[in-house]
């Protein structure tokens, strides 16, 4: 494990708990006291403040990067150098260029590389994705994801140089990849319109943003992200297709609600702002946030010689979309997404919006009205006239 902070501890708990045969054996931290504390807490036999020494240690066969964003590339390059499989926390890089270099280094070295995008492994997301892939929602038209909370835990997140950006990079990376999964990873994201601002926090980066991501097949991805939201952590996804809709609430309102004066109450849930009043605890935080399913997929994929559901390539695509978001926020215009490496479908054309009713008409809508009529609204194929037609009971 590279990094002994908040996310490294979440990862360690999941790694130790899910398959019952995986162990964190070595910890790298920049401060000796942090490395020793993590080693004691998780039973690591090796600790060091030298990153390369931990990566190169013969007892280590996979490296988990849980470091500030500006250290990801150096860590991944060392893994490639020492031929150690690597999984890396999100975002992959601070920008598309960093992400592309990391992706190429991993692939050229022949090691396994996994992108730790936990929100694409939550139980609710996995069930929703299964429904989408089975065709339950028809053709996907719109996928929206929202993550909003009062801000991250560690100081480096708030430093634009170390982090590479603000809430778009920190939270938008989740939302973009969620939408990509629902719309189809082989469908190219082509352009972005983004608004971003620093509304509350005394920082250089943005603390609030909204964006639209246009896909080559005509679908739209949308994200809303904020470090200025009050009231805990709000994780919601919506998917709309021609045959149905899915709403997901992953965290803030989960069906578990509790009122307390605060007596005897300690930690409630990640990003919770209070431990009194009406609270929304999470039943199994590590599992509900996707960490268990994520590491299970990563480890089985590495053992079986296959790609995980989330790869370095996925992280690179997400970074490229984020780059376009930042440019659009400055220009106030639609900005193209630069993807020098694209492995999905080429020349995709937007799907037709025309639904056949019969030889003469297209169907716009079919409905039952409050007065008991069964009617359809149709468009004449030749004249373009829009008519209503009552159907016989």
Q: Give the residue extent of every domain in the chain.
A: 6-117, 120-285+310-336, 361-390
Q: Contact at 8 Å (CB) between 196 and 208?
A: yes
pTM metric for this prediction: 0.92
User: Which strand (E) or helix (H) includes residue 88?
Assistant: strand 85-89
* pLDDT 10s digits, 218-243: 999 999 999 999 988 899 999 999 99
- Residues of the chain where predicted confidence (pLDDT) is lower than 50: none
In the structure encoding, which two tokens stand for residue 83, read together? Answer: 């031929």
Query: What topology does CATH give the domain 120-285+310-336?
Result: Dihydrodipicolinate Reductase; domain 2 (3.30.360)
What sign has the CA pseudo-torsion 49, 50, 56, 58? Answer: negative
CA gap 269, 11 in Å, rounded: 16
| Per-residue pLDDT, 270 | 63
Phi and psi at residue 141, in whole multiples of 5°?
-100, -35
Q: Contact at 8 Å (CB) between 211 and 194?
A: yes
Domain 6-117, CATH class in plain words? alpha beta
**Nearest by Cα to 317 from 66, 89, 95:** 95
Phi and psi at residue 42, in whole multiples of 5°?
-115, 10
| Per-residue pLDDT, 63 | 98
* pLDDT 10s digits, 79-116: 999 999 999 999 999 999 999 999 999 999 999 999 99
Give the contacts of 305 (CB within 8 A, at least 6 positions apart): none
**How far is residue 248 from each of residues 62, 123, 211, 261, measured CA to CA in Å?**
33, 11, 19, 30
Phi and psi at residue 229, in whole multiples of 5°?
-70, 135
């Amino acid at each position: 494990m590279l990094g002994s902070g908040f996310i490294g501890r979440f990862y360690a708990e999941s790694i130790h708990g899910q398959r019952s045969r995986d162990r964190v054996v070595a910890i790298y931290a920049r401060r000796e006291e942090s490395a020793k504390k993590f080693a004691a807490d998780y039973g690591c036999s090796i600790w060091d403040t030298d990153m390369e020494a931990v990566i190169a240690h013969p007892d280590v066969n996979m490296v988990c990067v849980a470091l500030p964003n500006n250290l990801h590339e150096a860590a991944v390059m060392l893994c490639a150098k020492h031929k150690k499989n690597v999984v890396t926390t999100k975002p992959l890089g601070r920008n598309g260029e960093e992400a592309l270099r990391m992706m190429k280094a991993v692939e050229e070295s022949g090691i396994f590389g996994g992108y730790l995008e936990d929100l694409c492994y939550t139980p609710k997301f996995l069930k929703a994705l299964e429904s989408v892939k089975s065709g339950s929602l028809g053709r996907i038209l719109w996928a929206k994801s929202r993550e909003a909370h009062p801000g991250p835990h560690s100081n480096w997140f708030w430093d634009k140089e170390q982090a590479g950006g603000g809430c778009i990079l920190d939270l938008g990376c989740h939302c973009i990849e969620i939408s990509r999964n629902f719309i189809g990873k082989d469908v190219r994201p082509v352009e972005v319109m983004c608004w971003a601002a620093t509304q509350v926090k005394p920082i250089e980066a943005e603390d609030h943003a909204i964006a639209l991501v246009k896909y080559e097949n005509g679908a739209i991805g949308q994200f809303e992200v904020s470090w200025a939201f009050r009231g805990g952590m709000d994780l919601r996804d919506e998917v709309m297709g021609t045959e149905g809709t899915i709403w997901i609430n992953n965290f803030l309102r989960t069906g578990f609600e509790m009122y307390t004066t605060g007596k005897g109450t300690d930690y409630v849930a990640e990003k919770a702002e209070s431990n009194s009043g009406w609270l929304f605890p999470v039943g199994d935080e590590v599992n509900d946030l996707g960490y268990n399913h994520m590491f299970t997929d990563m480890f089985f994929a590495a053992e079986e010689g296959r790609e995980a559901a989330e790869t370095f390539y996925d992280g690179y695509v997400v970074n490229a979309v984020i780059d376009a978001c930042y440019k659009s926020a400055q220009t106030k215009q639609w900005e193209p997404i630069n993807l020098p490496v694209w492995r999905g479908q080429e020349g995709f054309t937007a799907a037709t919006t025309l639904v056949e009713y019969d030889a003469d008409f297209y169907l716009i809508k079919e409905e039952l009205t409050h007065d008991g009529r069964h009617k359809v609204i149709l468009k004449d194929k030749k004249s373009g006239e829009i008519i209503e037609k009552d159907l016989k009971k």
